[in-house]
Amino acid sequence: MHKILLCFLIIGACGGIGILKAYGYRERVTLLEEFIRMTRTLKAELAYRLDPLPELLGRIGDFKADSAHIVCKTAAQLYEERRGRTAADVWKTAVAQVYRGTTLQTEDLRIMTEVGANLGIGSSESQNALLAVHIAELADRLQDARQESATKGKMFTAMGFVIGITAVILIV
């Protein structure tokens, strides 16, 4: 009885490790989806409102509690606290703080940082055009992340259970 329980425990533990590894791929997809939605909201707000940038970012940050909206809220708070810093500096700091330790790739973070590089500079038309470019780049990264999640995520999950079964076979 104990041996059977130990076998199931080994299979479950190895399978769980595989599932945890696969979670990183799903997390990247979720983070990119959230950021694209927030960037679309930012684009619309910039097109139709003439609010000061800290107020605009703060309002967008209050829309939802996901990581992308927290970037806006953090940027608004940093902008208010540290007068004299540019919006690009504040945005870069906010992105780095919020996405520290996530599964986002360097290129994902670069594009996310560039979203804030031209905020508050130039006309709303030029800002909207740049945001449209960044949304398209992020959409391409999202498509790659979905494909990677579908292939590598399933592979790591299956591999975890296969290693567990193999270990049980070797033990028995």
Q: Can you give the residue ranges of every domain in the chain? A: 2-171
Residue 44 tokens read as 């619309």
Query: Which span out of 2-16, 46-60, 67-81, 98-112 was modeled with the highest average pLDDT?
Result: 98-112
Q: Which two structure tokens, joined as six digits, stand for 148?
A: 């990677």
Summarised one tens digit per residue, pLDDT across range 115-164 is 888 787 777 788 888 889 999 999 999 999 999 988 888 888 889 889 98
CB-side neighbour CA atoms (13 Å) of 100: 6
**Structure confidence by residue, pLDDT tens digits, 33-56:** 999 999 999 888 888 877 788 888
What pTM was computed for the model?
A: 0.84
